[in-house]
Amino acid sequence: MRILGISGSLRQGSYNTALLRAAQELMPDGATLAEGSIADIPLYNGDEEAASGIPAAVETLKDQIAKADGLLLFTPEYNNSIPGVFKNAIDWTSRPAKDISRVFGGKPVAVLGASPGGFGTILSQDAWLSVLRTLGTRPWCEGRLMVARAGNVFDDQGRMTDDQMRDRLKRFLAGFSAFAAAQSD
């Protein structure tokens, strides 16, 4: 079982990237979590797409998503919604439109996230649902993981230090991996 995780933050000290890396260590037996990147994806511009085609960083991410058995979006929350840089990356991966079903069609997907605030990433996670529906994915709605006050959960090196959250993350990953495995039967 190959799961792809994408952090929606470009910050070096990102809590969501730290959450993704903690998840890599906690995957259930028989499942792996690879890390996709949005770092080199430019702002979407239809004129640029028409003139130059799909950028290499976008093609790489599209291929990673298409080959994965499941997709985990580690989302920050900016101004009560999806971070623009993350939405931009997913928008690029839906280009050209004829590729949407190859990349996303029926793909098991779940959203989780970490935030320094007290509400975790609840509004960002909710905002992703309409995007995921439009892309034809199979969102997993049986589990939810929002890491609130992330500064108390990770140390200065980005290691998860909260045992309760580690256990919650491990259960979340087991549940999603079982869901993704059931979709491929």
| Contact residues for 36 (Cβ-Cβ < 8 A; gap 6+) | 4, 5, 6, 61, 64, 65
What is the pairing mode between strands 145-147 and 138-139? unpaired
Residue 150 has what DSSP assignment? G
Residue 183 predicted with pLDDT over 70 = yes
Query: 127-173: per-residue pLDDT in tens?
Result: 999 999 999 999 999 989 999 999 999 999 999 999 999 999 999 99
Residue 154 per-residue DSSP state: B
Average pLDDT in the 9-23 region? 97
* Per-residue pLDDT, 143: 86
How far, in whole angstroms, is CA 115 from its chain's centroid?
14
**Hey, where are the domains in the chain?**
2-183
65 within 8 A of 36, measured Cβ to Cβ: yes
Query: What are the residues whose beta carbons fall under 8 Å from the beta carbon of 128, sequence distance 6 or more?
Result: 73, 75, 82, 111
Average pLDDT over the chain, rounded to an integer:
97
Closest C-alpha among 149, 153, 156 to residue 166 = 153
Does 2-183 carry CATH code 3.40.50.720? no
The rounded distance, in Å, linking the Cα atoms of 121 and 103 is: 25
Q: How confident is the model at residue 185 (pLDDT cuts 50, 70, 90)?
A: low
